[in-house]
């Protein structure tokens, strides 16, 4: 009896032909349904962005995901994300993009240009849980691959009341693929607070008058860095203005350092990271048609009076100086609502010199080339006999197109952008 049973078991489970059939069947299934048979996908998440985000901010990496299989390959076609945070994602988040890390071997720094967007189109949340489909299925394998969940905040996002945004994968069903996904719960980003822009903008002219305290984005109340050793400054100049990063207009710094150094505070955001407006690349333009990137000076200054003159003799601004940002802008006050925070003091100085504001509306606005003529005196102007700015006397060269009444100085065929001047026509 026992012998027969043993014999029976042996023939059923160890017969070479049956083993062969089992293996063949498994192979057949694996070929028929690629991925489904064996691969299990595992997902790891790291929180990237911390702190706050401002309206219009782009390329914010919320989460970095690393996906791999235990064996074989799997096809990943889409990801589901859930709203996370107190604000309503539908108007707050302008777009959600998933990027694949293609920047270089071992380099896991996100780059909006070097890494590859794999979402079909910039889409955003339509419901609390939204599926974002890829332009092509992603093949996952045993080699871990890195992906980024990247947000663009709506430029008109509501910043009142400290609302927050975030991204979350609630569980494994949020990874939509042809294979099993290892169980997880709540892989999520940090909760990012929506904050107003650090200074006035056209739409929001004077945040400093409100209850917000935005001074801290640029000034450190305690432990301000000491710029003395780096810039060879002494006494109270070293930490004057208790700025978090350098911003200088003094000739002793501006003449001897690149603008990336003395405009560092402004360029820390205006390089396309803290603000979507990238002035840094304009200041550093290498386009051969751009003769004056950074609104450069063309010779040494000679005047020590006027609007923002050099400190005093013997200090002069040298030729080739890229102008400090606040020669034109003033981030503290824009009570007159001048265009793009152009300095109120500049307006007051020009009017004080007899400049006739073309539309007499009490501020520098975008019309009538006011943004240029507030400094550059027309050659046929009679009401204002002198305009000295930054140590330079500014008159427009007598040229037919200048004399016949100026218009559209910033047109692409004329001088173009104020931060990268073209004078080759």
Give me the residues that bind ligand HEC (CB under 6 A), please: 54-56, 197-199, 201-202, 208, 214-215, 217-219, 241, 243, 247, 249, 263, 265-270, 274-277, 279, 283, 292, 295, 297-299, 323, 325-329, 331-332, 340-342, 346, 366, 371-372, 374-376, 389-390, 392, 394, 409-410, 415, 418-419, 421, 423
Minimum CB separation of residue 314 from ligand HEC in Å reads 19
Residue 189 or 197 with smaller CB distance to ligand HEC: 197
Q: Which residues of 8-39 are buried (b: 16+ CB within 10 A; e: fewer)?
A: eeeeeeeeeeeeeeeeeeeeeeeeeeebeebb
Minimum CB separation of residue 114 from ligand HEC in Å reads 22
Minimum CB separation of residue 209 from ligand HEC in Å reads 9
Residue 15 or 298 with smaller CB distance to ligand HEC: 298
Residue 24 or 366 with smaller CB distance to ligand HEC: 366
Residue 183's closest CA among 34, 36, 41?
A: 41
Beta-carbon-side half-sphere exposure of residue 346 (alpha carbons within 13 Å): 27
Minimum CB separation of residue 99 from ligand HEC in Å reads 21
- Residue 263 CB neighbours (<10 A): 27
Q: Rounded to an integer, what distance in angstroms lies between the CA atom of residue 242 and that of residue 219?
A: 6
Residue 188 or 321 with smaller CB distance to ligand HEC: 321
Minimum CB separation of residue 392 from ligand HEC in Å reads 4
Residue 192 or 265 with smaller CB distance to ligand HEC: 265
Minimum CB separation of residue 349 from ligand HEC in Å reads 9
Q: Rounded to an integer, what distance in angstroms lies between the CA atom of residue 52 and that of residue 157?
A: 13
Minimum CB separation of residue 286 from ligand HEC in Å reads 16
Q: Which residues of 206-239 are buried (b: 16+ CB within 10 A; e: fewer)?
A: ebbeeeeebeebbeeeeeeeebeeebebeeebbb
Residue 68 or 384 with smaller CB distance to ligand HEC: 384
Residue 378's closest CA among 387, 366, 365?
A: 387
**40: which 2 tokens?**
């299990």
Minimum CB separation of residue 366 from ligand HEC in Å reads 6
Q: Omega of the bond prior to 314 within 30 degrees of 0, cis?
A: yes
Instruction: Give the Å distances, CA to CA, from 182 to 70, 76, 144.
Output: 10, 14, 15
Residue 145 or 250 with smaller CB distance to ligand HEC: 250
Residue 97 or 419 with smaller CB distance to ligand HEC: 419
Residues 6+ away with beta carbon under 8 Å from 324: 247, 248, 249, 254, 259, 262, 263
Residue 80 or 402 with smaller CB distance to ligand HEC: 402
Minimum CB separation of residue 96 from ligand HEC in Å reads 18
Residue 201's closest CA among 94, 323, 308, 55?
A: 55
CB 204 within 8 A of CB 195: no
């Amino acid at each position: 009896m026992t012998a027969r049973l043993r014999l029976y078991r042996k023939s059923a489970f160890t017969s070479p032909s049956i083993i062969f059939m089992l293996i063949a069947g498994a192979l057949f299934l694996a070929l028929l349904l690629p991925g489904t048979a064996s691969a299990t996908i595992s997902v790891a998440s790291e929180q990237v962005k911390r702190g706050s985000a401002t309206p219009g901010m782009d390329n914010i990496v919320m989460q970095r995901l690393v996906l791999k299989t235990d064996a074989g390959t799997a096809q990943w076609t889409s990801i589901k994300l859930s709203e996370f945070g107190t604000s309503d994602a539908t108007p707050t988040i302008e777009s959600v993009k998933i990027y694949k890390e293609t920047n270089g071997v071992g380099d896991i720094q996100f780059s909006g240009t070097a890494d590859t967007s794999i979402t079909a189109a910039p889409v955003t949340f339509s419901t609390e849980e939204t599926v974002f489909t890829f332009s092509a299925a992603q093949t996952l394998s045993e080699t871990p691959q890195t992906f980024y969940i990247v947000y663009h905040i709506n430029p008109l996002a509501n910043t009142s009341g400290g609302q927050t945004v975030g991204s979350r994968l609630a569980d494994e069903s949020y990874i939509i693929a042809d294979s099993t996904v290892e169980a997880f719960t709540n892989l999520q980003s940090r909760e990012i607070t929506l904050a107003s822009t650090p200074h006035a903008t056209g739409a929001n002219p004077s945040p400093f008058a409100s209850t917000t305290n935005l001074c801290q984005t640029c000034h450190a109340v305690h432990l301000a860095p000491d710029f003395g050793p780096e810039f060879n400054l002494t006494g109270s100049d070293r930490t004057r203005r208790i700025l978090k990063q350098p911003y200088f207009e003094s000739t002793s710094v501006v003449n001897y350092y690149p603008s990336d150094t003395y405009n560092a505070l402004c360029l820390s955001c205006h390089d396309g990271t803290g603000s979507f407006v990238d002035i840094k690349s304009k200041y550093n333009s290498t386009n051969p048609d751009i003769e004056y990137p950074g609104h450069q000076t063309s010779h040494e200054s000679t005047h020590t009076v006027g609007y923002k003159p050099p400190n005093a003799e013997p200090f002069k601004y040298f030729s080739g100086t890229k102008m400090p940002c606040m020669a034109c802008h003033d981030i503290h006050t824009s009570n007159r609502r001048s265009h793009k925070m152009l300095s109120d003091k500049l307006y007051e100085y020009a009017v004080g010199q007899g400049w006739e504001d073309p539309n007499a509306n009490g501020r520098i606005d975008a019309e009538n080339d006011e943004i240029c003529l507030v400094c550059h005196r027309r050659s046929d102007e009679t009401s204002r006999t002198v305009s000295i700015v930054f140590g330079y006397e500014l008159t427009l060269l007598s040229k037919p197109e200048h004399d016949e009444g100026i218009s559209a100085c910033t047109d692409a065929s004329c001088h173009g952008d104020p931060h990268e001047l073209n004078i080759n026509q």
